[in-house]
Amino acid sequence: MDTHAQLLLVVIFVGSLAVAAAAAGLHPVVLLPAYTCSQLDARLTDEFEPAASAAPSCGGGVLLKKKGWFRLWNNHTALLEDPALVPCYAELLRLVFDPVAGDYRNVPGVETRVVSFGSTRGFASNDPAMKLVEALEAVGYKQGENLFGAPYAFRYAPAPPGQASREFSRFLSRLTLLVEQASERNGGMPVLVTHSFGGFNAHVFLRRSPLAWRRRYIKHFVMASAGAGGAVLLLRFGSSSSSPSPSFAGKFLVLPSPKVFGHAPLVVTRAKNYSAHDIPEYLKANGFSGEEVARYVARVLPVTLDFAAPPAVPMTCVNAIGVPTPEMLVYWDGEFDEEPDEVVYG
Ligand SMILES: *[C@@H]1O[C@H](CO)[C@@H](O)[C@H](O)[C@H]1NC(C)=O
Ligand SMILES: *[C@@H]1O[C@H](CO)[C@@H](O)[C@H](O)[C@H]1NC(C)=O
């Protein structure tokens, strides 16, 4: 999946959409960016005690506790100046599952917040989504007037209805308000435009919003480079391509949905093939604990099985043509912690 090539297509598409809308006034646009595009600030409370493995890197956390809010993701400057900080930042970004709350949360003592919700100013400046922002601004869109950004806490993920997912529920409420405000300010219906992982969140958002609300507030849903239904690429847990850590709740959401991929073999070994239906077994073979696998089955799978077009929302998916996309991973000896022996592209 070459997100840059796909993004170029969407830039052209959105450009023509915007030009077409220009005569009647621009429809407000709300942008949801890709997985790691949203920046996060963090603040440490006295409760913070780094895990033993991160303690030297965090300097016991003493200095960081005095900083107040600081940029946690992504803070290239800090990590370039002092690479020894990397284990500390990984610790601050870690999620833990709280069995009592039945939900993921930050490591105790770590508070996080997304930067500049409502605008695209909190997007990472080098992210491909900024090309979209530039293209929209070039045809007359103005930040805060008819162009809005919805960055999200990307480490967290939606849970099925009835299960706790505080961070994601908060995001849904904020996004609902943002769309309503965008509509009121412009007297029109907003267009939701998403890049990559943002499409997964917008999809859940639309599926769960009341039909009457959708009819009233959403003009169009443009999903770019999203690999709708999940991506085979994300089954490469052992290799560098799956960073950041797959223990992030959000990462599981993009594993191939059985509803979309069916029984096709996605991972091939000499002894056994794995389809999207076999992901629990595949996770086990990749060293995930029984608890993590059970959580995938209970928390993630029902969300990915709910994959379907949200009724009453005109929808456009933009994908590039001629960009090789992994369809099957071959690990002859089942050594999943190494690079695949072969990647079959489609
Ligand atoms: C990056 O993190 C360091 C702490 O490690 C902090 O001092 C600095 O202010 C952060 N940068 C920004 C832009 O917040
Ligand atoms: C696994 O799938 C491949 C590709 O479709 C097929 O050639 C092979 O026979 C299958 N192997 C097993 C063990 O089912």
Ligand 1 binding pocket, CB closer than 6 Å = 67, 70-71, 75, 77-78, 85
For a ligand 2 pocket test, name from 267, 268, 282 the mutation site with the most ligand atoms within 8 angstroms of its C-beta.
268
* Whole-number pLDDT of residue 242: 41
pLDDT at 38: 93
**Confidence (pLDDT) at 4:** 59
The response to whether residue 331 sits with its C-beta less than 6 Å from ligand 2 reads no
Q: Are residues 204 and 157 in the same domain?
A: yes
Q: Please report the atom of ligand 2 found closest to the CA of residue 268.
A: 1
Asked if residue 188 and residue 286 are part of one domain, the reply reads: yes
Cα 194 from Cα 317, distance rounded (Å): 10
Structural domain containing residue 90: 40-114
The confidence score (pLDDT) of residue 268 equals 98
Our count of domains for the chain comes to: 2
73: Cβ contacts below 8 Å, ≥ 6 apart: 36, 38, 39, 40, 93
> pLDDT of 69-110, one tens digit each?
999 998 888 888 888 888 899 899 999 999 999 999 999 999
**pLDDT score for 23:** 44
Distance set, CA 280 to CA 83, 161, 285, 294, 331 (Å)? 35, 21, 9, 8, 17
Query: Read out DSSP for 246-285?
Result: TTSHHHHTTSPPHHHHTT--SEE-SS-EE-GGGHHHHHHH
Q: How far does residue 71's CA lie from ligand 1's centre (Å)?
A: 5
Does ligand 2 have an atom closer than 6 angstroms to the CB of 190? no
- Does 159 lie in the same domain as 52? no
pTM for this entry = 0.89
CA of 250 to the centre of ligand 1 (A): 25
Residue stretches of the chain with pLDDT short of 70: 1-24, 239-247
CATH number where 287 lies: 3.40.50.1820
Do 266 and 335 lie in one domain? The reply is yes
What is the reported pLDDT for 243?
Answer: 41
Same domain, 274 and 208: yes
